[in-house]
A and B are shown apart, each in its own frame.
Chain A
Amino acid sequence: MSTAAVQFKRDARRLSADRRHREIINTALNKYAVKRDEKKALFQDWEGARQLAAEIKWEAVNHLDRYLEQFVRGLEARGTQVHWASTAQQARDLIVGIARSRNARSIVKSKAMTAEEIHLNEALEKAGFEVVESDLGEFIVQLREEAPYHIVFPAMHLTRGEIRETFEKKLHDAPSDEPEELTMVARRVLRQKYLQADVGITGANFAVAETGMISITENEGNARLTAALPKTMITLLGIEKVIPRLEDLALLLPMLATVGAGQLISGYNTMYGGPRQAGETDGPEEFHVVLLDHNRTALLADAEQRDSLHCIRCGACLNVCPIYRNVGGHTYGTTYPGPIGGVITPNLRGLQDWKHLSYASSLCGACTEACPVKIDLAHHLLQNRRNASQQKPSLWQKIAFKLFAPVANCRVLWILVTKLGRLGQKLHPLVLGKPFDPAYVWTKTRDLPPVAQQSFKEWWRQRP
């Protein structure tokens, strides 16, 4: 088992038994579900909207070369400096290099999962820069030196009491447990940081090819301040973020808000197309866009799972996933948790090291049903399992399944299995509940049903 798999199993065991954790996550996600369903009901035809969104993303992903070039041409025409990064290391070096070239000391950042993916903060801090997350949830987990718990709700695992304690310890300012007061504390700290920052780093929700602009959607206005106040703006985004037309946002933005946060539309929706233009009164002096591959092209080459590049990082699949809801976001040990993480992580970071995420699913399909861009998530988990065991089969499983075939296929052998099952069950109490019980993985927490005195097939055979 890989180190990542050992860690996953250990943390999953601990958290799935943690009733307090289960309560916090379920309460939060049940509230979300009510709001999401209210907003979904406002769509005239939700299934039609999903189909359309999937087609938009399909068109973009299947013509990625053309749309990326169009996107870049538009940006460059307004004086944006566009950089291509094949690897995480290249992206980190590029961004550190830009910050150095601007003699920056302080960097303010708005929410960007791609930055988490390439561990940008660590790289910037190692290079001597101060980096501050400006999204409230991200700010909180940064203070706690934790990874985001969820791709949309980074601090959803924390109670307001825990947030107050964190502020008390790290900021020495926590008047009460009230969310409003705690938010005011964060705001006071962050406003100073925006003013001091030399560089602002953002992610992007969409990259519009037609106009050569990035689209950022948010609720706190922190991305706007991050983009507008520092003299240099850097946007880091995955190459799959591109969409063909401006009008596609008319569907994708409300859709993202609906399934992402149960909102009609997010509070702030902004388009950025370049640095401050002649005659403009605000905006950054320099605007850099870093386009990240980081193995996305490997998914692009995979006809079977190419649709996983449709992902708009809304978190809808996490929110409905019964595994995510029981083991929590940190257990996955990866930037993208839940079903989408189980699909893409083994493809982006190594099949053998991360295949356990594809196996850690009951294949219930709630994710596939929830995905607004119709990624065939549950089936991709099955394909990852197939690919993993084809590439490197587990010997004992292969033997077990090989032996099972003739037994299941042969009437006489199955009769033998039925009789042995009854005998085994008679002897089972001798080992029941002990770790050397062959059925321990089941019997540790569940009873086994008794083998029937007369099996169905025995009944069938003796029927008149």
Chain B
Amino acid sequence: MTVTLFIPCFIDLFYPQVGVAMVKILEKLGHRVACPEAPACCGQPAFNTGYWHESRAVAAKVLEQFKDAEVIVIASGSCGAMMKVFYPDLFAGTPHAQLAKTVSAKCYEFSQFLVEKLGVTDLGARFPHKVTYHDGCHSLREMHIHDAPRKLMASVRGLELIEMQQAVCCGFGGTFSAKFPMISTAMGEVKCDLALDTTAEYIVSSDSSCLMHIQGLIDRQRKPLKTLHLAEILAPS
């Protein structure tokens, strides 16, 4: 099938290797990948800050570009939740209401797409390291994705998954991290402490925006941890 990939701004600019890994995985599985160049954002920053009108200006472009897609795979659980869960709210009562529902129904987060839509769990990957998995909150609680990334990791040769004691937010929260940097930082520290308790070398996640925040703290505080997107582990070399 043709998979239309949504690459969020932070993956485009900071973590292109995550998008590249997804393209390689999808092509290896025999699918054609499409990726509209615009838009660069799903509209979540404005939406979460309360500026729904401004958010619609961004999101309407997404609807237009993705409306004919067969399936839409979003390279981030958070943007995925925006498109799948919040677009119908955002456009309710507007001329785009039906279109928002149509697009929403075609949206999958990357790990969810592999496991739930394609039924793939083993990509033949090898990663001989101890890892812990960070559930992005929007993946977990808005898109209800819990098992898919774990099934994918369970098939990775050599990978040992050690779960953290709590599935707690990393503290990123989009504009929250800039409006309340001190609370966001404290939350990130709690997250890193939970990860360190597992003795894992890597924090793996399906959301690069959480990882950007966590890695930023790790670098600043020189913690013995590294972050990786799940797709980077699964991609064929």
A residues 378-433 in Cβ contact with B at 8 Å? 378-379, 382, 385-390, 393, 397-398, 401-402, 404-411, 414, 417-418, 421
Q: Are A369 and B15 in contact (CB under 8 A)?
A: no
The stretch that binds B, out of A87-95, A154-162, A447-455, is: A447-455
Which of B100-108, B124-132, B156-164, B212-220 binds A? B212-220
Render A4-19 as a binary contact track against B, CB cut-off 8 A, 1 for contact: 0000010011001100
Q: Are A323 and B183 in contact (CB under 8 A)?
A: yes
A164-208 contacts to B (CB < 8 Å): none
Interface string of B200-234 (1 = CB under 8 A from A): 00000000000011011101100000000000000
User: Which B residues are CB-close (under 8 A) to A389?
Assistant: 49-51
Residues in B with CB closer than 8 Å to A378 are: 141
- Tell me whether A441 is interfacial, beta carbon within 8 Å: yes
Interface string of B25-63 (1 = CB under 8 A from A): 000000000010111110101111111101101100100
A residues with a Cβ closer than 8 A to B are: 9, 12-13, 16-17, 22, 26, 33, 322-323, 325-327, 359-366, 368-369, 378-379, 382, 385-390, 393, 397-398, 401-402, 404-411, 414, 417-418, 421, 441-442, 444-452, 454-461
Are B58 and A454 in contact, CB atoms less than 8 angstroms apart?
Answer: no
Is residue B80 contacting chain A, with contact meaning CB distance below 8 A?
A: no
Main secondary structure of the interface of B (DSSP, over half): helix
In the complex the two chains form, is A398's CB within 8 Å of B54's CB?
yes
| Number of residue pairs A-B, CB distance < 8 angstroms | 200
Given contacts A366-B169, A401-B45, contact A409 B187 (CB under 8 A): no
Instruction: Using known A-B contacts A322-B190, A452-B15, A460-B35, determine if residue A364 contacts B55 with beta carbons closer than 8 Å.
Output: no
Given A409-B57, A409-B61: 20 more A-B contacts, CB < 8 Å: A16-B183, A359-B179, A362-B172, A364-B168, A364-B173, A365-B141, A389-B49, A398-B51, A401-B46, A404-B46, A405-B58, A408-B40, A411-B37, A417-B40, A441-B178, A445-B217, A447-B219, A456-B7, A460-B35, A460-B37
Q: How far is the CB of A439 from chain B (nearest CB, A)?
A: 9
6 nearest A-B pairs in the assembled complex, by CB-CB distance: A362-B173, A446-B216, A385-B50, A364-B169, A389-B50, A365-B141
CB distance from A180 to the nearest CB of B (A): 31
Docked Cα-Cα span, A368 to B190, in Å, equals 21
- Report Cα–Cα, A82/B23, bound state, in Å: 69
Residue tally, chain B, CB below 8 Å to A: 67
* Chain B residues with CB below 8 A from A446, complex form: 185, 188, 213, 216-217, 219-220
Partner of A323, one of B39, B187, B220: B187
A366 contacts B185, C-beta separation under 8 Å? no
Q: Evaluate contact between B57 and A405: CB separation under 8 angstroms.
A: yes
Task: Name the residue on B nearest A360 (C-beta).
Answer: B180
Q: How far is the CA of A323 from the CA of B173 in the complex (A)?
A: 11
Q: Distance (Å) between the CB of B116 and the closest chain A CB?
A: 20
Q: 6 A-B pairs, CB-CB below 8 angstroms?
A: A327-B183, A363-B138, A387-B50, A405-B58, A409-B58, A452-B15
Asked if B20 lies at the interface with its beta carbon under 8 angstroms from chain A, I say: yes
